[in-house]
Chain A
């Protein structure tokens, strides 16, 4: 089934979750590599990959938010204490915010730095704002801080999923796995 139900994630939601999970991990690695690499053609290519993947992730998260909006969200197990429900709600909301903030600040800082970009060497990306080196530096710091926060949240997200599975022994993790139903 493509759509979510009150108890299960549909295949579209799972595909978006796992493909974005892989792309976000690749994106974090690419970002760190691109920034740290010495100035060379490889560095410029790493940046094109990072920025291209970022734009792909921006499209993906917009699709994901839309899909979540028009589908039921499978309920958390009823026995969960209130603080865990609150933590889950806040954590997921922050993940969505960061999935938007990271590509958008990336696009903005690339615009401020006046660097032309063809996404995957194909699609020209228009600048969002006029060149401004100081603003670009500020945006870069915001982008880096957001990435660091994302890493922290992802660690918590994975830890929470494993805790649901191994400690609480509920369906929260298994119902997100491909091909499984709760």
Chain B
């Protein structure tokens, strides 16, 4: 009996070790390199496209480039680092109806479901926490690896109303549009 249990235990151990080794071989950990990364957004103002950026954000990614195993993506955005390059607008967006810097200085996206769609196209299905509101969001991106670095880039469209950005009379979409395009081009380096 003991021998049988011992043998089963060894098999389980070897299997687990094998899985770990396989996982480690395929999935790699990455973190963003602030210098080469941008996280921008494009809103509309009286029919004009107005671009902004978040100057500070951090991306952690575990990715199996072969697509065999699901990866994870964690993004932390310093909302108070937003810059829309128009002084009057920058003063407004910090206020309660918009980003509410005082109440919600940071936004987070977490996904434990990062899959390859095809070729170098991936998607991270997860949850965005922005201005205190959690919403499911899909982050599509193309992945390019070269040497020790990689780039992750793509864009998605958010409805600002879903996160309460632009409350009260600003909720109507005729002056400030409802759609906000989010564009990201992140330079990543291997972590650990």
Contacts and interface: CB of A to CB of B under 8 A. Distances in A.
A76 interface: no
Contact of B87 (A45, A113, A118, A122): A113
Interface stretch (A27-35, A36-44, A61-69): A36-44
Contacts of B174: 41
A172 interface: no
B175 to A, nearest CB: 4
A148 to B, nearest CB: 23
Contact of B47 (A39, A121, A131): A121
B170 interface: yes
A38 to B, nearest CB: 10
Given A114-B87, A115-B88, A45 B50 contact: no
B87 A44 contact: no
Which DSSP category, helix, strand, loop or mixed, fits chain A's interface?
loop
Nearest to A124: B48
A84 interface: no
Interface string A44-62: 1100100000000000000
Contact of B48 (A41, A118, A131): A118
Contacts of A131: 85-87
Interface in A109-139: 113-118, 121-122, 124, 131, 133
A117 B87 CA distance: 15
B114 to A, nearest CB: 36
Which DSSP category, helix, strand, loop or mixed, fits chain B's interface?
mixed
A116 B87 contact: no
A67 B78 CA distance: 57
A113 B86 contact: yes
Contacts of B86: 113-115, 131
A116 B48 contact: yes
Contacts of A40: 169
A110 to B, nearest CB: 11
A41 B172 contact: yes
B170 A133 contact: no
B48 A45 contact: no
Interface in B90-122: 92
A131 B120 CA distance: 39
B176 interface: yes
A41 B170 contact: yes
Interface in B31-65: 45-50
A57 B107 CA distance: 46
A60 B160 CA distance: 40
B84 to A, nearest CB: 9
Contacts of A122: 47
Contact of B175 (A44, A114, A115, A116): A44
A39 to B, nearest CB: 7
A124 B87 CA distance: 20
Given A118-B47, A121-B46, A41 B87 contact: no
A133 B87 contact: yes
Please list the 7 inter-chain residue pairs (A to B) with the smallest Cβ-Cβ separation, ordered nearest first: A116-B48, A41-B175, A114-B86, A118-B47, A133-B87, A121-B47, A48-B46
6 contacts: A41-B169, A48-B46, A116-B45, A116-B48, A121-B46, A131-B87
Given A48-B46, A114-B85, 9 more contacts: A39-B92, A41-B170, A41-B175, A113-B87, A114-B86, A114-B87, A115-B88, A118-B47, A131-B85
